[in-house]
A and B are shown apart, each in its own frame.
Chain A
């Protein structure tokens, strides 16, 4: 409900803003602007952030946009503490976080969280129960679920990760994650790790899945853009950019850019589902 209201609000704000100067290229609004935008947090967002930053910085040399990762938790904390201007998160900020920091959330894309394995791995389908038991450390060999006779290397993310929070809540049902799991710091690193390790299992933002890793069907549904869009694949989440209080100046322009036609196009190009 809340997000819905938000979205309408955002659309209103933007239509107010965009309608006046231009409709063709939203990037025009950055002309004549000057300053720095610091972005940190969610690592699923990084490809989109980088592309948007690149386009804006190429057009206007007086604007500097820095992009760092860290995970959703870090993004929310850092924007709350005022260390960055925009803190990205791959999950909704918790009510206590919103209250403590006075956060404003802007959802600009929908994404899923999918289980991935190495393309060489014959196991391409699991039930939720099997997945739970793999992550709990009870199933520790691929042969027990129809794969080769080799130990399973489990990859996970740290507590700051929104991807982990969504995966843990929705796919594992808040079940235990074995302490022998290997940690990687970002969605990009998860994909690389699984692509390089033939016996790995991991979970990653659906937008990041490409031919280097193989998606695993969960209870018969393969995580792809389409299944997430149609709602068939249930482990989905919004990608948010958060600001402390209402955004102002450049930060405001940047968030509007993400929600503009061009920004939404970038999101789609990078494998996410635009909200508009």
Chain B
């Protein structure tokens, strides 16, 4: 009797807790939507500047989030460009060439890196920037490049691990057919294994992109500032969307600025959730078709 009661309790409680979680997330999202939707528009992005001339770089944007969006975009592109080749090659090596011991040791290192708090990576980037500043050039310091490198380091394990696991999970019949037909190891990797593991690899890459777009702690220490305009070089300081949100949350000066903050939240949320959805829903066939069309 007691047991039946307990089982019933577990069932109801589980549903209740699951519902509670769903409810709180939907309250959060609808709150954001209600507050943020009215501010969405070209004024949020471009302020009082003309959108077209701002996009072409002829006019500067001051009260909009355009520089922050461009800053975030630069960060994402740069850090992905840095982490991608390194990460994929390391993943291929770990899965296809490495000895079991090496796999264990290096794999363990990546697990540690994946768990390091992002602020620690930021602290590392900051120290490197100061180090370079003292010992090499006065022009170096916390800047876009340093942030991008730090973010690249932060997302490296995602790319390595997703490449490695999606290669290792390939079934034996895919793995061995080409080699049995006389293909070399490299040919097998390039023409059979990687194309087949592409969906796994790309979802890892997209997760990494999402991480670059949303991370605030790293850039907080490595060069993001409140006002900088569109970044002009790799060595310049920059604005970024998550930092803008963080900044507005504590020091908005007017209701208009606050509602810009809500709008910026929606923009960032939109970017990140689309990226994550794509990563999870990635269709292998689609990518296969896109990259290896006959």
Contact = CB atoms under 8 A, between A and B. Distances in A.
A12 to B, nearest CB: 30
B24 interface: no
A65 B60 CA distance: 12
A36 interface: yes
Nearest to A57: B60
B109 interface: no
Nearest to B258: A192
Interface string A60-103: 01001111110000000000011100000000000000000000
- Chain A interface: which size bin? 20 to 34
B237 A38 contact: yes
B254 to A, nearest CB: 9
A66 B227 contact: yes
A68 B239 CA distance: 10
A69 B228 CA distance: 12
Given A64-B232, A82-B138, A83-B141, A188 B227 contact: no
B170 to A, nearest CB: 48
Contacts, number: 60
B64 to A, nearest CB: 12
Interface stretch (A46-54, A141-149, A227-235, A256-264): A46-54
Contacts of A18: none
A182 to B, nearest CB: 12
Size bin of chain B's contact surface: 10 to 19
Given A61-B60, A83-B142, A189-B250, A53 B133 contact: no
Contacts of B113: none
B107 interface: no
Residue from the set B133, B138, B251, B253 with the largest chain A CB neighbour count within 10 Å: B251
A185 B229 contact: no
A104 to B, nearest CB: 18
17 contacts: A50-B226, A54-B62, A58-B60, A64-B228, A64-B236, A65-B227, A66-B229, A67-B226, A68-B226, A69-B226, A82-B141, A83-B133, A83-B141, A188-B250, A189-B250, A189-B251, A191-B251
Given A68-B225, A81-B130, A184-B250, 8 more contacts: A50-B227, A57-B229, A61-B60, A67-B226, A67-B228, A68-B237, A186-B250, A192-B251
